[in-house]
Amino acid sequence: MEEPSVLDYLKEKLNPRHWGKPSEVLPNEGEAGELLQQEPLEPTAEPARARHGLSLAWRVLLALVLAFFAQSLLEPSSYNLTGSLVFYAAALSALMLAVRADELKIVAPAPAEAIKDEHGIRILPLYLFVFVTLLAFYELKDNQFTAFNVTLWLAALVLGLITFWRPQQPFDLRTQLQQGINYLKKPFINFHLTSWQLLCIAVLALAAFFHFYHLSTVPLEMTSDHAEKLLDVNDVLHGKFSMFFPRNGGREPIQFYLAAALIKWFGASLGFTTLKLSMALAFMVGLIFVYLLGKEFGNRWTGLLGMLLTTFAAWTNIIARVGLRLILCPVFVAIDLYFLFRAIRRGSRNDFILTGIFLGLGLLGYSAFRIMPVVVVLAILIYVLHERERARRKLAWQGLGLIVAFSFVLAMPLLHFALQYPEAFGYRTLTRMTSTEVALPVNLVSTFFSNTWNAITMPFFRDGSTWVISVTDRPALDIITAALYLIGLVVVLIRWIKTRNWQDLFFLAAIPVLMLPSILALAFPNENPSLSRAGGAVIPILLIAAIGFQSILTSIWQKTRSGLGKGLTVLLALLIVTLSAAQNYDLVFNQYNTSYANATWNTKEMGEVCHDFIDSVGAPDTCYVVGVAYWVDTRLVAMVAGYPTMDYAIWPKDVPATKDDPRAKMFILKADQPDAISQVEAIYPNGFATLHSSAIPGRDFIAYFVPPTTVGQ
């Protein structure tokens, strides 16, 4: 019989037939609800029941309130660093009092399983695996996917799986066929959803709202970086299958092929929305693995709360909906860590293989993920130092070998490109870490430690000055999540001290390591911290916040024994989630949207004017944007108009040459450039000027329409 859940309890309380009656859902004396299905780190005495059945975990509640208030003082509108530090110190003191009074309940780590007997490999497939892998690596050259080298690449993967993979159950063809025949005779679908599954679906629905709502308009305008991306996607659509896309410092391939697939197979358009849609879909896949990773870190409530915080976090939402492949780093971090944690817990060779596969795939996603091999090695080292059983330590080292082998196979296209074109592969990284582009700071060590401090404190203080991917100069997390993250850090540290659970120390160490792509911007310290380059760290950060949230709720739930107390605990949880979601909504759809719009040019409006002109009397090559320094990227105007390979730029000195063309023309001019406007009017006195006003100062432009002329006119 299944234990009742919090959802069951809510259903009972909302049913008028149960009002005023004892709860039929609450556990028996000495038991806790679904939220508390865990073994305590240490046995505790049964708390005394309050006179009216309502007992409060007041130390935990006090710590929570003080932490919320402390973080609110770090908001830009009410910034008070001294006050915040005082209240945070008070919150930590209250938390320590809760620990001493055994009031703070900490979720126990997931127990390890017995090692499976998975020794032995298939010898002949091993030789073939090595040979085909080397051949595929050789053929994956010249930055070009071909039918031949892709076939070899996939063959290497298949041979690797044949060599090392161990099926969990022996495959019986006769049994499978008989089951298929029986189903065809009496087809049926057994569809049943538990209350827990409904809760998970509700969180996924909330994630869909936050990540697809106003996707086409938030943010609205593209930047030059998006122009380069769309040109790369267009190359893929026209048969240029690159392994690494060298435009604008170089990019890994996954997003371009994903966007091209959406266009070719699902009818999406070649535009900004498709770039954003590809990353929103990637986020939704990654969100499932956040839940699974949370279960490995604690229990299913840890996973659910981690998934919930990730669902509406402005950090993940912004770097996904900006459409610049940035979200691929945290997505693959979540996937890879899930399989790694499960591999170590279960002693499963197959999970080590999957860790290697997704590690290699992640390297084809976003450059910040290049730090992930270091993170995986760090995890193995920390685990081995914690594990007492020799067989499990040996298995971990063997697993690391499998991870290296399969990640090499999956990353071969990128690795061969790096070997063949090292300057193109490392350009973006080298310009940030070395003096390739600008001189390094005189005191390099001081810069490194300053960057490290700024990065690891950005959840609480400053998220950087990059307006494309953040609401600048504010905490990377909302008030609620930042406070829960600090509480979670304390909880994880205490759990590690008490249990020596290797995952706790690993998560604490992994956060700064995952931030290294941002920290190592030594030549450009003003670019640190960066929500994109440090994006991989958002996964352990939010899961630590989730375990802090869970510990707070668990402590309050276990302390109270009455139905009223349980109900108030649920209402508190809903209030915290609602407040966090509301602020994150405001950060993304109001603050970020506004700041992004204020920093970009209105190329969409210009492109729509050109599109309407072309659809009526014009032609794609008779639209012009009269160039002005530091104004719009004229390629974006053409892209919005529907012509991604064109550039509508024309300099004022070249305008007279257009008079030889008798066709209708459209000139887009900056409204505050009277000389350029007068020049076009002088050349085409029969034209018509229309002022397009913008709600943002300095964004007005003139659309100057020139009707067609007859020959000899």
DSSP letters of 477-513?
S-HHHHHHHHHHHHHHHHHHHHH--HHHHHHHHHHHH
The pLDDT score that the predictor gives to residue 116 is 73
CB distance 480 to 542 below 8 Å: no
The pLDDT score that the predictor gives to residue 388 is 92
Residue whose pair of structure tokens reads 């320590």 in the numeric block: 96
- How many other CB atoms sit within 10 Å of the CB of residue 645? 12
Question: At 686, is the secondary structure helix, strand, or coil?
Answer: coil
Question: At 615, is the secondary structure helix, strand, or coil?
Answer: helix
- How many other CB atoms sit within 10 Å of the CB of residue 656? 12
Q: What distance in Å separates the CA atoms of residue 498 and residue 450, rounded to the nearest whole number?
A: 32
Q: What distance in Å separates the CA atoms of residue 517 and residue 513, rounded to the nearest whole number?
A: 8
Q: Measured between alpha carbons, how far is residue 570 from residues 35, 38, 100, 285, 567 in Å?
A: 10, 18, 25, 28, 5
CB distance 370 to 325 below 8 Å: no
How many residues in the chain?
713
Strand 649-650 versus strand 701-706 pairing type: unpaired
Q: Measured between alpha carbons, how far is residue 331 from residues 213, 259, 464, 515, 537 in Å?
A: 20, 17, 22, 15, 11
| Tokens linked to 55 | 């007992």
Residues of the chain whose pLDDT is less than 70? Answer: 1-54, 117-119, 170-173, 710-713
| HSE-up (13 A, CA, CB side) for residue 442 | 0
User: pTM of the predicted model, to two decimals?
Assistant: 0.90
Cα angle 590-591-594, degrees, rounded to a multiple of 5: 80
| Tokens linked to 527 | 């670019």
The pLDDT score that the predictor gives to residue 493 is 97
Note the maximum CA span of the chain.
Answer: 102
CB distance 576 to 324 below 8 Å: no
